[in-house]
Amino acid sequence: MILPVTHLAAFALVALGMALTPGPNMIYLISRSICQGPRAGLVSLGGVALGFVFYMLCAAFGITALVMAVPYAYAYDALRLGGAVYLLYLAWQAIRPGGRSPFQVRKLAADGNRRLFLMGFMTNLLNPKIAVMYLSLLPQFTVPGTSMLFQILILGTMQIVISVLVNAVIALSAGNMAKFLESNPRFAMAQRWVMATVLGGLAARMLTEQRGA
């Protein structure tokens, strides 16, 4: 196996935590699903998925070029520190005072399928969270001595699958979830703290982890 099972499991946990962390994609998909129906949310999600593919390919070729130009250990340490800082930022965003709930719906006009898909794509493309995630997080779940390009494609595909599945569930159940969280604010707060704890723990692990030879 190119990637150890432990690396794949750890990255799957990171990808799940990020998919559950409120951001522009989640807010747009929830708002679209509530305003225009779950089908519109799923069409928009198709555009979001294409944006993930775009970033994955850019990161795969860009990171491969970086590792070829810079000694692997230095490149890894720089990306590891960047990824840890980013996870801490996500943890803070989950619990910061006055943080916006993704279930606060934005009023959106009804659009056709082509525009729904394009808006989903552009929302993801203009989301700095995704760019930083691909450039900072993916590399430290790779192993030396194996094709960096192929490893990034494997991890990127895993992230896309997890994110699409999570957001599809959210799009299909956005209305019910919004009502539940509105009537159970303590549950929403507990979920945010659990998410922040997981992301913070992963950041600490990344900062203390030593890359094996």
**Which pLDDT value is given to residue 140?**
72
In a domain, 179, yes or no: yes
Q: Which residues contact 110 (CB under 8 A, 6 or more apart)?
A: 35, 36, 40
In a domain, 149, yes or no: yes
Q: What range defines the domain where residue 52 resides? A: 5-206
In a domain, 212, yes or no: no
pLDDT at 48 over 90: yes
pLDDT at 178 over 70: no
pLDDT at 72 over 60: no
Q: Whose structure tokens read 């203009």?
A: 126
Query: Phi and psi of 98, rounded to 5°?
Result: 75, 10
What average pLDDT does the segment 96-112 reach? 66
Give the distance from CA 136 to its chain's centroid: 12
Task: Considering only residues 107 and 3, tell me which one the structure prediction assigns the higher pLDDT.
Answer: 3
Tell me the per-residue pLDDT of 9-35, one tens digit each, with 9 for 90 and over. 888 988 888 788 777 888 888 888 888
pLDDT at 196 over 70: yes
Tell me the per-residue pLDDT of 133-174, one tens digit each, with 9 for 90 and over. 777 777 778 777 777 788 888 999 999 999 999 999 988 888
Angle between helices 38-69 and 24-36 (to 10 degrees): 160
pLDDT confidence of 5, banded at 50, 70, 90? Answer: confident
In a domain, 100, yes or no: yes
Both structure tokens of 81: 């520190």
How many domains does the structure of the chain reveal? Answer: 1
pTM beyond 0.85: no
